[in-house]
């Protein structure tokens, strides 16, 4: 049995447990109204109740898939990569129901997931850019302190005064702190550049809330 078949079987089982009758009733009512307005004299073999169940099932399947991929056993913490989302999009594409309501839902969900992928990549790039900017600011400030310290030393030497005192030590301490921050930024940049873009647990929860709010009123 392939991994995809196993995943689909698991999702089907979980969906039976997770089916929300209130959601189904609400969607059924909306679909019935749509049929009454658009097809007042036309009959269909597929009942609005069945379409509503499929509608709710797809939404639940998407949410469960997000949770499953985010909490895969090989991950140290909940996260989603672009490849994970691509698998969810493929599952949606393979969902068999061809009714226009379901097809429209699948298309909209896939567009939402594609946008989420773009957000993940954009956020990854922005993190690296922000760290580079922070590193440059630290380097600039360290150069300023180093210049001020050297100027102080030269002034003291010109007056035949011992050049090193509490003030030069203060400059050395500030420069050392900034150098530590520079090193940390450099390491974080290298780490991010070696990692694939991914959404963390907070990103995933926010996206799930977005989906819930968006499709609850449809």
Per-residue model confidence (pLDDT) at position 41: 47
| φ/ψ bin of 160: left (φ > 0), alpha (ψ from -120 to 50), beta (otherwise) | left
The span from the CA of 157 to the CA of 164, in Å, is 10
**Residue numbers in the chain where pLDDT is lower than 70:** 1-47, 217-218
Per-residue model confidence (pLDDT) at position 13: 54
Length of the chain measured in residues = 218
Q: What angle do CA 127, 133, 138 make, to 5 degrees?
A: 125
3-state secondary structure 57-106: HHHHHHHHHHHHHHCCCCCCCCCEEHHHHHHHHHHHHHCCCCCHHHHHHH
Listed residue (32, 95, 84, 30) closest to 60, CA to CA: 95
The residues near 137 (Cβ < 8 Å, ≥ 6 apart) are: none
Q: Where are the domains positioned within the chain?
A: 3-123+198-216, 125-194
Residue with tokens 């992928």: 117
Per-residue model confidence (pLDDT) at position 51: 84
Per-residue model confidence (pLDDT) at position 216: 76
SS3 45: coil
Write the pLDDT tens digit of every residue in 84-125: 999 999 999 988 888 899 999 999 999 999 999 999 999 999
């Amino acid at each position: 049995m392939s991994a995809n078949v196993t995943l689909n079987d698991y999702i089907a089982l979980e969906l039976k447990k997770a089916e929300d009758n209130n959601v189904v009733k609400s969607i059924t009512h909306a679909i019935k109204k749509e049929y009454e307005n658009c097809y007042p004299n036309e009959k269909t073999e597929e009942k609005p109740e069945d379409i509503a169940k499929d509608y709710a099932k797809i939404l639940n399947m998407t949410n469960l898939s997000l949770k499953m991929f985010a909490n895969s056993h090989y991950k140290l913490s909940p996260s989603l990569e672009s490849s994970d989302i691509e698998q969810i999009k493929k599952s949606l594409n393979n969902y068999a129901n061809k009714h226009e309501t379901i097809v429209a839902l699948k298309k909209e969900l896939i567009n939402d997931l594609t946008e989420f992928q773009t957000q993940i990549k954009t956020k990854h790039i922005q993190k690296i850019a922000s760290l580079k900017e922070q590193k440059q600011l630290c380097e600039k400030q360290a150069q300023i302190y180093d210049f001020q310290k050297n100027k102080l030393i030269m002034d003291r030497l010109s007056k035949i005064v011992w050049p090193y005192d509490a003030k030069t030590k203060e400059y050395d301490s500030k420069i050392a702190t900034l150098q530590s921050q520079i090193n940390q930024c450099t390491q974080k940049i290298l780490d991010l550049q070696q990692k694939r873009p991914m959404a963390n647990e907070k990103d995933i929860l926010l996206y799930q809330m977005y989906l819930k709010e968006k499709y609850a009123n449809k």
